[in-house]
Structure 1
């Protein structure tokens, strides 16, 4: 998942906040990584008076055309909002992010292609380039 990838980064974020519908679920998600990351857990209702440089939507809300219950005030100047989902058109989360001032709103297509490239490398011993694949997929949508 997202936290595992972040935990493996050489340059980790200063702080990470995991938000979920319930504090118990957020705590469970964060607990596996708390020894390696400066991580806190909150329920969505506790997200106020804070701003974030990066907001990652790792929920299934985009599948149903819904938004997680996030306040626009969470978006810091120069914030990057990332939706792990991808589609031909921007997801509702990405539209929300841009409408509320996110500097970047990125979908998960690059992650999908990157995961496929990593698998291909492991199977074949050759690392494929991904930029052309991402561009071709975007044009084909």
Structure 2
């Protein structure tokens, strides 16, 4: 009897653009591990049937991306505290009995990226300013609060969504109107863009950064392009900047370790491989 080769993958719709197969493929090759990581385009109405079938096909787990993160959480049999708090899952582990264990590693990936690429940075350095109130913002807020951020200022084009986050996460969140979002950069030590502004094919980032101080570290969860208009503008004001690719790389590490039994390293070789360099 031969040992089964572990299978993992990423489920989304669309999913062809995903960098995750390249990312996990690099790690599998680097560590000489048996295993495969496969992109799977799954329609929302098929998600539950697919997730219940994959463990019987030799899959040890999957990543889930848009539009399945909330639905995957609801289908899971076991849920981590951080996934429950964020309200979404991006990493699923399939137990031998077929039960689905759901986690959300986006917040972990955010913090690890900042610590690796902004030497000496700490969430506790001072107030943070976050643009956006979607799923990524939830993950960042949760992680920043856990890491000791004293205050998180948040602005979203639809204020009600930002108000809902404050009601959920508590008084360390301060909501600002989108039209006055530039004011919340004053005194902020961490500034995060979680919106799609500046992403390839999306609206350009046009908010004023006149109040942004050089002591701040600015980061964008967008990684296409790597140097977004927001990061370029922050850099012009003297800020250190951290691109969004590292968050993608770091959020993948916990899942890879659970699926393939090896804690992977996020390094320049991985970045080059994922970028096709």
* Equivalence map 1:59-98=2 (5 Å): 59-63=195-199, 64=202, 66-67=204-205, 69=207, 71-87=208-224, 89-98=226-235
- Which of these residues, 184, 189, 198, is aligned with residue 53 of structure 1? 189
- Mapped to 2, the partners of 1:74 and 1:123 lie a distance apart of 45
- Which of these residues, 156, 159, 165, is aligned with residue 20 of structure 1? 156
Which stretches in structure 1 are left out of the alignment for 5+ residues?
Answer: none
How large is the RMSD of aligned CA atoms in angstroms? 2.2
Name the residue aligned to 2:31: none
Does the 8 Å contact 1:113/1:130 carry over to 2? yes
Does the 8 Å contact 1:20/1:44 carry over to 2? yes
- Mapped to 1, the partners of 2:272 and 2:211 lie a distance apart of 31
CA radius of gyration, larger in: 2
Name the residue aligned to 2:241: 105
Shift of 1:77: 2.7
- Which of these residues, 129, 137, 146, is aligned with residue 8 of structure 1? 146
Does the 8 Å contact 1:59/1:68 carry over to 2? no
Does residue 32 of structure 1 match 2:172?
A: no
Which stretches in structure 2 are left out of the alignment for 5+ residues?
Answer: 1-138
Does the 8 Å contact 2:234/2:241 carry over to 1? yes
User: How many corresponding residue pairs?
Assistant: 134
- Mapped to 1, the partners of 2:276 and 2:189 lie a distance apart of 29
Relative to the length of structure 2, the TM-score reads 0.44
Relative to the length of structure 1, the TM-score reads 0.81
